[in-house]
Copies of this chain bind each other. A is one copy, B any other.
Amino acid sequence: MQFELSNEFLSILKEDIARGDKDTVAANIRALYPPDIAEILDEVNLEEAQFIFRLLENEVGSEVLMELDEDVREKFLASLSDDEIADFVDELNTDDAADIIQELPEERQEEVLEKVEDEEHSENIADLLAYDENSAGGLMAKELIKVNQDWTILRCVREMRKQAEDVDKVFTVYVVNDEGVLLGIVSLKRMLLNSERTIIKDIFEEGAISVKTDAMAEEIIQVFEKYDMVVLPVVDEFGRLVGRITVDDVMDVVREETSKDYQMMSGISEDIETTDSVWVMSRARLPWLLIAMMGGIVGAMVIANYEDELKLSPQMAFFIPLVVAMGGNVGIQSSALIVQGLANNTLSKDGMLKRILKELMVGLLNGLACSIVLIAYSYVFSYPVALSLTIGASLLAVILFAAAFGTFMPLTLHRMKIDPALATGPFITTSNDIIGLFFYFMIGRLMYGLAF
């Protein structure tokens, strides 16, 4: 049963809280799933949120904590004591527990870990904390169900009764050998539908797809998507099973990655949302604007250099926005295609040169089309021939350059292990603009020189 958070529900809830009516609030809240409770907590103020939160049992509370918006969770954690956080950490799976610990300020991390009751659990968490956040080790949870290939189904079921307590979402059971090396998987379906005395070795699927602990987020996402996986086992360098990553964690990462690319293109430097304060939003957006400003100033200096041409032919100023904008548009199209191709791993296997040549062909086709439109317009409106040819020729030059540059930059950034999406941001587009202006006026100077 889905839950739609209506303003009505919220205001009634706030009234109940203001009255201190714990029973009513508790009754209303307990009927909801953790993600819905978290949604409510994101919408009320901190005191109201704490009121609600204290009514939750530890298990639900820990789940709600994980579902909160990061900013809200930060405030919550700051207001909870080390013991309280440790209680939640006890309830969480190791991957979520490690995430929570990591979000705490460094001084608190050790203290909270020490207060965690289950020692094995806190050791497991400490293990996970040692991995890079964006690697398989950092994303995985240690809770999983594994059986030995020599066991019967009956024995498996007995062992699973012990292991399954901690594992809430069981999709597949992993099959290992005596050394703990991952051999394959056996589905619960198969275990259910075979006789008790069947030996795992005879029914399991050999050769599971897995990733090593040091695999990075990008590779992990691609494996999930390519093989339509729901859960992915993680192995160490010896092939021993050490953890698993579930698809919902990957979907979160996919969302973050695509958000990052999108924000990069629109020139937003931090992960902000419309719920953030005016100050936070300004701060995230100003850096790129200032870079664009610098670029604009350089552009002004470029044009200033050709002041004489402008005095001779002020009409050249009319087409400045057009030439610059076209360069920007074409450049962004080229860069975006590359960035998308890299993100989805659908890039053709061409070399750099072949790819740029292809882009130039596209640029030529489109550039000619646009130039012809432009020359036709200027002819109809009786602009001087020198001007018509100038804008036509420089538009073509600008488009060709932008297409090549727009393809070259993200690929080069990628090779240098820098985020290729930077190429779609204001930094590169501003450079494109400036170079476009150079082309425009140099060609203009040439044409006018020829005309006289």
Interface of A toward B, CB cutoff 8 Å = 1-2, 7, 33, 35, 39, 43, 69, 157, 160-161, 164, 167, 169-171, 187-189, 191-193, 207, 209, 211, 223-230, 246-248, 251-252, 254-255, 258-259, 261-263, 265-268, 272-275, 278-279, 281-282, 285-286, 288-290, 292-293, 295-297, 299-301, 303-304, 307, 310-311, 314-326, 328-330, 332-333, 335-338, 340-341, 344, 346-350, 355, 358, 361-362, 365-366, 369-370, 373-374, 377, 424, 426, 430, 433, 437
Bound-state Cα–Cα, A347 to B1, Å: 23
The oligomer's copy count stands at 2
Most chain B CB inside 10 Å of its own CB: which residue of A209, A296, A350, A426 = A296
| Chain B residues near A301 (CB-CB < 8 A) | 318
| Chain B residues near A300 (CB-CB < 8 A) | 318-319, 321-322
Q: Name the distance in Å between A401's Cβ and chain B's nearest Cβ.
A: 15
A-B contact pairs, 17 of them (CB 8 A): A167-B189, A255-B344, A263-B336, A273-B337, A275-B348, A281-B358, A289-B370, A290-B373, A292-B326, A296-B321, A296-B326, A297-B322, A297-B374, A303-B317, A304-B315, A310-B314, A314-B317
Q: Name the distance in Å between A227's Cβ and chain B's nearest Cβ.
A: 6
Contacts A193-B157, A333-B266; A248 near B228 (Cβ below 8 A): yes
Most chain B CB inside 10 Å of its own CB: which residue of A333, A361, A365 = A333
Bound-state Cα–Cα, A446 to B323, Å: 27
